[in-house]
Amino acid sequence: MYTNEEFLIELLLESGMLNKADFEGVRHRKKADETMLEALIRMGKVGEEDVARTVAINAGMDYVDLNRAELDPAAQEVVDSETAIRYKIIPIGFHGAGIYIAVGDPLDFDALDSVRHVLSYEPEFLCAPQSQIKELLTSIYGATFGTEVTTREVAGGGESNTAEVGDAPIIKLVYQILQEAYQNRASDIHIEPLETEIRVRYRIDGALHKVATHPLRLHSAIIARIKIMSGTMSIAEKRLPQDGRIQATVGDKDLDLRVSTVPTNGGESVVMRILDKSSLSLGLPQLGFFTDDQQIFHELIRLPDGILLVTGPTGSGKTTTLYACLNEINKPDRKIITVEDPVEYLLSGINQVQVKEDIGMSFAAALRAILRQAPNIIMIGEIRDKETASIAINASLTGHLVFSTLHTNDAPGAVARLADIGIKRFLIASAVRAIMAQRLVRGVCQECKTPTRITEKEMRMLRLDERQIEGASIMTGAGCRACRNTGFRGRIGIFEIFRITEEVSQMINKEMSTPQLRKRARELGMRTLREDGVRKVLNGRTSAAEVVRVTMADSD
């Protein structure tokens, strides 16, 4: 955890008001009884006004120079000496029904909230240098101060939620958000500025849950803290989207987060994806495969060449499935290279390439380069265009096993998708070995599961009869602390595996339609997403309502 002073110094370094050379030089020359900020100001490396302006910007406040401001004596009468000295505030003047108040520590949120409750006017806070605040507290209210240097107070105070005294309130708040997200098994954290507040939501088992709101005035400071934690994002740039990564320790858990900011009407919206490295060690049963599908998939991922495609919408677990496949076939005698945008997890023993479109490192460019590295297996994060698809096809036809993803609703639809982007049908038939569509459904909580019955409506939608559900282990979650009273905990996959047999390959060459391919694939034994979901309902692993929800497009 950073202290207040470390937080502020990082802000100064990021904004360019302080350079690293000056900082390192002062570090070895500061006196034993002074802080780094005090030493930096004393040696002229940064001005107290710069410190105050930086804090003001990141607290979403305006800066005020009290030496030049006109102070209204009537405003001073509104604030008694005890309140002014206790909270270190200076009343400046009135505006309508409100009052301008100068503060030296915009990050002391507890003090600011207390001032709001104490005053009869609605305060609008402005940030001023701490030395000016003290001088006026002495001249107006007769305050006396010891030898404590003002910059220590500018950096802010506060209690720590990790038993480290002196952590800044904004640091505590961001840490608390990360900690609660981890404890609640969230996959994403959404921090969104609204008209009057900041909304914090967690995505848990695929569903968004509103967990907290915070005053809108904290927005700039929260965003700045997150950007500083990333180490690569600019706190000065608020008009353009930015991406970064954060490695943070929450309790005894090391978290890897992918950060994305987007400017909105209310300010920058942030989404942090929590990358759970434990998913890398998942086997096919943990992903949701039953034994028969496991056997099919084991055979497919051990083929010497060809393309294996995983399809589905964003958030359907395609990347997790591909990583699990690579993890299973990652052996010392195989060279595996991936091309990803972005690289979400670092896989031991695998060469991973990050796509960077802004410098010309596209999927296609990266693929052309890695083919000269003589890999056995290639994983392409996504086939987006004809060029990438063509290179993948050629790689598979020259002895490489290629894994990739497509955005299609079902498995047979991937054939039409590849044809639509310009790939010849005979190449699709020759190169593609299998296509698997998948979705994620919420799993019934194992802590509070209890037997239940499927409703008549659900039976009609899932095309079940009484004979099929006889003896089945149909479960529902009653709701408990472990699942946040939702009845669900964790997610599993439902799958549709479309194998390109010799017969299917001939149908693709003859340009048969997707419905025709789908009909024949089902006759050859392919289970649809909904049918695989029904198996998992009857096995007690998920609910009928979940399967209906995620397979609405499956009308077969």
pLDDT in tens, 296-352: 988 999 999 999 999 998 888 898 898 888 888 988 899 999 999 888 777 888 999
Strands of 62-63's sheet in order across? 62-63, 122-127, 98-103, 89-95
The more confidently predicted of residues 44 and 475 is 475
* Helix ranges, 237-362 (H): 284-287, 291-301, 318-329
Q: Residue 555 has what pLDDT?
A: 55
The span from the CA of 111 to the CA of 86, in Å, is 9
CA 402-407-409 angle, to 5 degrees, is 115
pTM to 2 decimal places: 0.66
Please give the share of the chain, as a percent, with pLDDT higher than 90: 46
Q: Residue 448 has what pLDDT?
A: 95
Q: Residue 164 has what pLDDT?
A: 38
Check residue 422 and report its DSSP letter. Answer: T
Q: Are 300 and 340 in contact (CB under 8 A)?
A: no
Calculate the average pLDDT of the chain.
Answer: 86
**Model confidence band, residue 281 (pLDDT cutoffs 50, 70, 90):** low
**Model confidence band, residue 556 (pLDDT cutoffs 50, 70, 90):** low
Question: Looking at the predicted structure, is the pLDDT value of residue 146 above 50?
Answer: no
The span from the CA of 377 to the CA of 400, in Å, is 6
Question: Looking at the predicted structure, is the pLDDT value of residue 151 above 60?
Answer: no
The span from the CA of 556 to the CA of 554, in Å, is 6
Q: Are 556 and 522 in contact (CB under 8 A)?
A: yes
Question: Per-residue b/e over 224-253, b at no fewer than 16 CB within 10 Å?
Answer: bbbbbbbeebebeeeeeebebbbebebeee
Q: Torsions phi, psi of 237, nearest 5? A: -90, 115
Q: Give the closest residue to 216 by CA, choosing from 114, 85, 125.
A: 125
**Model confidence band, residue 225 (pLDDT cutoffs 50, 70, 90):** confident
Question: Looking at the predicted structure, is the pLDDT value of residue 513 above 50?
Answer: yes
Q: How do residues 384-407 score in pLDDT, each as one tens digit?
A: 999 999 999 999 999 999 999 999
Neighbours of 369 (CB within 10 A): 13
Check residue 542 and report its DSSP letter. Answer: B
Weakest mean pLDDT among 61-75, 135-149, 358-372: 135-149
The tokens for 256 are: 């890897």
The span from the CA of 113 to the CA of 119, in Å, is 10
Q: How do residues 76-119 score in pLDDT, each as one tens digit?
A: 888 888 889 888 999 999 988 899 999 988 877 778 888 888 88
**DSSP symbols for 476-512:** EE---TTTTTSSEEEEEEEEEEEE--HHHHHHHHTT-
Q: What is the mean pLDDT of residues 40-65?
A: 85
Q: Residue 37 has what pLDDT?
A: 78
Neighbours of 335 (CB within 10 A): 15
Q: What is the mean pLDDT of residues 115-128?
A: 90
Amino acid at position 427, single letter: L
**CA distances, 291 to each of 154, 167, 285 (Å):** 63, 52, 8
**CA distances, 418 to each of 81, 203, 207, 358, 505 (Å):** 75, 32, 31, 26, 14
**CA distances, 392 to each of 66, 303, 398 (Å):** 66, 16, 10
Question: Looking at the predicted structure, is the pLDDT value of residue 521 above 90?
Answer: yes
Q: Residue 50 has what pLDDT?
A: 83
**CA distances, 544 to each of 236, 410, 439, 517, 547 (Å):** 49, 20, 14, 27, 5
Radius of gyration of the chain (CA): 30
CA 422-427-429 angle, to 5 degrees, is 115
Residue with tokens 């392919």: 526
Dihedral sign computed on CA atoms, order 115, 119, 125, 127 = negative
**DSSP symbols for 365-415:** HHHHHHGGG--SEEEES---SHHHHHHHHHHHHTT-EEEEEE--SSSTHHH
Q: What is the mean pLDDT of residues 482-511?
A: 93
